[in-house]
Structure 1
Amino acid sequence: MANKWKHTALLVIDMQHDFVDVDGPMLLSGGKAIVPNVIKAVQIARQRGMLVVWVVREHDPLGRDVELFRRHLYPAGKVGPTVKGQVGAELVHGLVIQEGDYKLVKTRFSAFFATHLDSFLKGAGIDSLVVTGVQTPNCIRQTVFDGVALDYKSVTVVLDATAAATPEVHGANILDMKNIGVATPTLQEWCESDA
């Protein structure tokens, strides 16, 4: 089965303490609930021999590389969200980078924006993407739309291994992605699929 999946990468996006923990400064409602499904998706991806890419935010302590609308979260003398080296920037419990995985740091919504992700994936022979993580209207959506624009043969968003602030916001963004040809199976459907 590994041969069928060798051209597909699983992107795990922003599953970090500051976004998922109840006391995280960037808490996303619904983030905690998908952790078991993201863990399962990673396990299945590894069993299939897929490349696992951990897409994370890691910011400068002074917030100099953060979007303008978030710079107020990095006042002098205070540690802002997802600062490199801080606990908040680490992956949530149960998610572990292993040998053979790849970690990509981004500073904007899309994993492709101002990063080398596209050249890295294409250099590794990847032509299809499976996306999990948070949050659907921002980092998931932007990454997925860029993946489609960059002509990845297949882009899949695992419906219940991604989350937004509310089910309504999640559903609306999933519908938008379906409308551009993105597959949106549940985790169980994806686990049972062979293509």
Structure 2
Amino acid sequence: MASNAEETNEALRIPSCGTNSALLVVSMQNDFVLPSSPIRLPTAAAIVPLIKQAVSFAREKGALIVWVVREHHPSGRDVELFRRGKFTGVAMKGTKGAAVLDELDPQPGDHVIVKTRFSAFFGTNLHLVLQSAGIQNLIFAGIQTPNCIRQAVFDAVAYDYPSIVVLSDVTAAKKPEIHEANLYDMRMGSSMVNRSC
């Protein structure tokens, strides 16, 4: 867990949030959240209000807001081999399904990282962007805890970011027990996962 001073914004607490921090909001896209989508994560909609609070708080503190989105070619040729059948036609570049939820209101000064794998670091320039911006503190929100969040967190550990926080109430998985097990595993593996927010 990060050891820097904690800030409070009503019920939402984000440790180590300032100008050398980045809030990474992961996969909060229409295809993964809206009820009309066949691949939506049922628990995702419940964290949307908390993500809005986290983004607002981080903006007030001068943190960099990074929207991490998954986008694919319409053919599905850039999807992981084991998911090609399920993900063909999902989160296609330029479609409404691939867009961040309108209510989360991304701003022009925010940064967008486009990925085709679980981790926001894999095959992207995220580390370069964060280094160039002087970012030391990473704060994670979004979906899904067992894959997209977890893999990005462990990649951040490998890149030696000194402060990594997963907002446990602002992240979600398919089932609460999966969410909790992965938070526990990240906490044991990195000693940097915040259990409360």
> TM-score when scaled to structure 2?
0.88
- Residue 175 (structure 2) pairs with residue 184 (structure 1): no
Offset, 1:182: 1.7
Please say if residues 25 and 81 of structure 1, whose CA atoms lie closer than 8 Å, have aligned partners that are also in contact.
no
Please say if residues 59 and 66 of structure 1, whose CA atoms lie closer than 8 Å, have aligned partners that are also in contact.
yes
Change in Cα spacing, 1:130 to 1:166, as seen in structure 2 (3 Å) is same
Offset, 1:73: 3.2
Aligned to 2:4: none
Aligned to 2:13: none
Please say if residues 42 and 52 of structure 1, whose CA atoms lie closer than 8 Å, have aligned partners that are also in contact.
yes
Structure-to-structure mapping, 1:79-98, within 5 angstroms: 80-98=89-107
Offset, 1:67: 0.5
- Opposite residue 88 of structure 1, the aligned amino acid is G
Aligned to 1:129: 138
Aligned to 1:193: none
- Give per-residue Cα distances to partners, 1:92-113, cap 9 Å, x unaligned: 2311221221001000000000
Offset, 1:45: 0.4
Count of residues in correspondence between the two structures: 182
Aligned to 1:109: 118
Change in Cα spacing, 1:172 to 1:107, as seen in structure 2 (3 Å) is same
Offset, 1:25: 2.7
Please say if residues 17 and 137 of structure 2, whose CA atoms lie closer than 8 Å, have aligned partners that are also in contact.
no
- Residue 195 (structure 2) pairs with residue 174 (structure 1): no
> TM-score when scaled to structure 1?
0.89
**Which deviates more, 155-164 or 90-99?**
90-99
**Which deviates more, 4-13 or 65-74?**
65-74
Superposed structure 1 runs of 4+ greater than 6 Å apart: none
Tell me, which stretches of 5 or more residues in structure 1 are unaligned?
A: 188-195
Tell me, which stretches of 5 or more residues in structure 2 are unaligned?
A: 1-6, 8-15
Cα RMSD for the two superposed structures: 1.6
Q: Choose which of 73, 87, 94 in structure 2 pairs with 1:60.
A: 73
